Structure 1
Amino acid sequence: MIHALSDVQSRSVGARTTVWQFVVILADAVIGKDCNICSHCFIENDVVVGDRVTVKSGVQLWDGVRLEDDVFVGPNATFTNDRMPRSRQHLERFPQTLVRRGASIGGGATILPGLEIGERAMVGAGAVVTRDVPARAIVVGSPARVIGYVDDAVS
């Protein structure tokens, strides 16, 4: 379902994906199946979103962002794609930010460009991620620090 008040230019949106109102998805973005893209999101061209991904309201996915299957991105999480941004100066190629399968990013977290969030990792709400996050790690704070690991028995 693509809401009538969204602007979906991409022809690569998977089956059973829901795109809510006031979402913009540019032409070259690739969105998997069974995703939920909530209202007020923006997805740029060089973005790949896997299957069964949830992107909550207020998230922008800029060029270079890759979300693998089963990723959760909380409301107003921020991805960046240029470590030294300047007005009217654009990179030829943006660094790739990779969020691995099953990872979760809490609301309001900030992810700096070119990082990898490991498989099933959890980024706490409001965390500022300045370096790679290991698989299954739980990170919180600014800058984000590992405080533990996801336990298979609990998750």
Structure 2
Amino acid sequence: MPSIHPLADVQSKNIGKETTVWQFCVILKNAVIGNHCNINCNVLIENDVVIGNHVTVKPGVQIWDGITLGDHVFIGPNATFTNDLTPRSKQYPESFAKTVVKKGASIGANATIIAGNTIGEYALIGAGSVVTTHVAPHHVYYGNPAKHKGYITKEGKLVDLQYKDNEGVLYHFNNNQLIIKE
């Protein structure tokens, strides 16, 4: 059973077991949230949203219609998603752009993810970055606009553009996984 703070406005019945929703959150009725998630205070989650298992959403995040977060995703404080590439007041598109954050990806504090992009598995988006393009699995992006600056392993070890970590260990991709080169 989920743990929902009494000061949260949770309209959805689709919230997984052992998920915690903190105070001042608004979760609309059609949102789907998995098991063992931590939805921190001051988070808004709209209707056409799917959140996987073991996801952490830090304070001040709005997850708009059209956004999907995979399992084990981390969304840092005040990260921003968009879902309409040409917004106008009181003029709504027929459908919102789809944004997908894949399994194990992390998005740093105050990063902005422009609508319609996919953040690949275990990718890392640096704090304050503005993502305007798809990000491949295990890639590290940061800056404004965010640029490819390196790689990251599933375990969180940073690897430079020459596929070396800070200890000089060499890595390579095998079946879309970043692993030590033998």
TM-score, length basis structure 2: 0.84
Distance in 2 (alpha carbons) for counterparts of 1:4 and 1:153:
36
Cα shift readout 1:83-131 (whole Å, capped 9, x = no counterpart):
1100010012111100000000000000000100000000000000000
Tell me which residue corresponds to 1:113: 115
TM-score, length basis structure 1: 0.98
Please list, as runs of the form range in 1=range in 2, the aligned pairs for 1:33-112 lying within 5 A after superposition: 33-112=35-114
Alignment pair present for 1:131 and 2:96: no
Runs of 4+ in structure 1 off by over 3 angstroms are 151-155
Q: Which structure 2 residue ranges, 5 or more long, are not aligned? A: 158-182
AA aligned opposite 1:13: I
Q: Which structure 1 residue ranges, 5 or more long, are not aligned? A: none
Higher strand share: 2
AA aligned opposite 1:76: N
* Distance verdict in 2 for CA 1:35–1:110, change over 3 Å: same
Which of 4, 10, 13 is the equivalent residue of 2:12? Answer: 10
Identical pairs, percent: 56
Cα RMSD, aligned residues only: 0.9
Higher RCO (Cα < 8 Å, 6 or more apart): 1
Cα shift readout 1:40-81 (whole Å, capped 9, x = no counterpart):
000000000000000000000000000000000000000000
